[in-house]
Amino acid sequence: MSSWSFRCTYCGAQFPPETLVWRCLRCRGVLAVDPPLLLDRGAIEVSTSTLWRYARALPVEPPARTLGEGMTPLVPGQLDGEPVWFKLDFLLPTGSFKDRGASVLVAFLARAGVRRIAVDSSGNAAAALAAYAASHGLEALVFAPADTASEKLLQSRAYGARVELVPGPREVVAATAQAAAQEPGTAYASHNWHPLFAEGTKTWLLEVWEQLGGMWPAACFVPAGGGSLVLGAALAVQGVGTPGPVLVAAQPESCAPLVRAWERQTREVEPVTPGPTLAEGARIGAPPRGVLLLEILRQCGGWPEAVPEPQLVETVRLLWRQGLYVEPTAALGAAAYRLARRRGWVPDGPVVIVLTGSGLKAGTVVRHVIDQV
């Protein structure tokens, strides 16, 4: 870990790490860690079998206690007869890739003296943040939309989080969490905004790079709601310092703000109203980093892909039949790969598909898919 500060990606304003900001205090823009943290290959702690093996490229010291997060398997599989690699991030301690961002963000906040975190999420991010809060002995306040299925909040409650349902649109839920974070000793631990969450998430691609023998895959297909896997990938590539893989951001067709902006060839990403989808983890109509995500996709030769529901259902079944028990959201990347392959758009070389969340967390949706004929 070297010395760094928060830098606004819009106006360039800088803030020291101890200020606990989560967005620019001047223009409300998105922050990044500055200067970017580089990965010196010789500085990887190879005897550490968690994501903290990359501690030297992370903005916080490793915590005394971990839940064993990171270094998930990269296994060979196939889709439509083609060989692919599956990155099994649904095997992380809380059952989703959000552990990467949550573990690094909570370690940072705990070290900064925070005693309580406020979170707005209805699903995997809340569970991950609640788990690492528990592990660090912090209190967690989870604010969830009033229509959230109670099943989805069980895990956060089990970790000891105080869960509160908030009526009204998603922005109101976020504002309620932000207001709660005004209390002394409390921080807003936003998985969509906080740069430390993105820093933790970059470890998925650092691991892939290491698991492939210090090489990038040709292409990676990942689910994209808030887009933290895409952003994390860009940080990983920046850290290693060689041109990275083609990234494809898969969104459900009924909630695909990145795809709509791509089609219109606009720089801005206009919010969409999320329609119904089984990929409930990707129902983010207004991703805060939308502009940056499009920029990243353009620079790596990638694109956003809209996945229709029938393809999503068909693909999650294909994964289950290979023994990969994921939730439907986690099948978005695989479904996007199959669509791209049919168009002949997949580059030659190893292809990595990130499987983001466990089916064990999504009984109701899984039952729905199984019962559909």
Judged by CB under 5 A, the stretch of 6-14, 122-130, 226-234, 289-297 that binds Zn ion is 6-14
Nearer to Zn ion, 6 or 86 (CB): 6
Per CB under 5 A, does 368 bind Zn ion?
Answer: no
Cα end-to-end span (Å), the chain: 53
Nearer to Zn ion, 13 or 165 (CB): 13
Residues 6+ apart with CB under 8 A from 149: 364
Residue type, 180: A
Per CB under 5 A, does 11 bind Zn ion?
Answer: yes
Number of residues that bind Zn ion (CB under 5 A): 8
Judged by CB under 5 A, the residue of 10, 15, 320, 345 near Zn ion is 10
Judged by CB under 5 A, the residue of 8, 32, 92, 278 near Zn ion is 8
Judged by CB under 5 A, the stretch of 18-26, 108-116, 197-205, 321-329 that binds Zn ion is 18-26
Nearer to Zn ion, 24 or 340 (CB): 24
Per-residue burial over 81-101, b = 16 or more CB atoms within 10 Å of its CB, e = otherwise: eeebbbbbbbebbbbbbbbbb
Per CB under 5 A, does 140 bind Zn ion?
Answer: no
CA dist., res. 4 & res. 334, Å (int): 37
Nearer to Zn ion, 24 or 189 (CB): 24
Per CB under 5 A, does 29 bind Zn ion?
Answer: yes
Single out the residue of 226, 221, 197, 193 nearest to residue 300, CA to CA: 221
* Closest CB 152 distance from Zn ion, rounded Å: 34
Judged by CB under 5 A, the stretch of 23-31, 54-62, 136-144, 332-340 that binds Zn ion is 23-31
Residue with tokens 């550490």: 48
Judged by CB under 5 A, the stretch of 12-20, 119-127, 140-148, 286-294 that binds Zn ion is 12-20
* Closest CB 8 distance from Zn ion, rounded Å: 3
Judged by CB under 5 A, the residue of 16, 18, 19, 27 near Zn ion is 27
CA dist., res. 291 & res. 304, Å (int): 13
Judged by CB under 5 A, the residue of 1, 18, 26, 310 near Zn ion is 26
Judged by CB under 5 A, the stretch of 24-32, 60-68, 202-210, 253-261 that binds Zn ion is 24-32
Nearer to Zn ion, 28 or 367 (CB): 28
Chain-centre distance of CA 282, in angstroms? Answer: 10
Cβ atoms of residues 333 and 251 within 8 Å: no
Single out the residue of 121, 130, 157 nearest to residue 280, CA to CA: 121
Judged by CB under 5 A, the residue of 13, 44, 212, 218 near Zn ion is 13
DSSP letters along 256-303, please? -HHHHHHHHT-SS---------S-GGG--SS-TTHHHHHHHHHHTT-E
CA dist., res. 154 & res. 137, Å (int): 19
Half-sphere exposure in the Cβ direction for 183 (13 Å, CA):
13
* Closest CB 125 distance from Zn ion, rounded Å: 24
Judged by CB under 5 A, the residue of 4, 17, 22, 24 near Zn ion is 24
Judged by CB under 5 A, the stretch of 29-37, 256-264, 301-309, 360-368 that binds Zn ion is 29-37
Q: Is 108 helix (H, G, I), strand (E, B) or coil?
A: helix
Cβ atoms of residues 71 and 53 within 8 Å: yes
In 300-368, which ranges are E strands?
Answer: 303-307, 351-355
Task: Give Rg (Cα) of the chain.
Answer: 19
* Closest CB 239 distance from Zn ion, rounded Å: 24
Nearer to Zn ion, 9 or 66 (CB): 9
Judged by CB under 5 A, the stretch of 7-15, 32-40, 208-216, 343-351 that binds Zn ion is 7-15
Question: Which residues of the chain form contacts with Zn ion (CB under 5 A)?
Answer: 8, 10-11, 13, 24, 26-27, 29
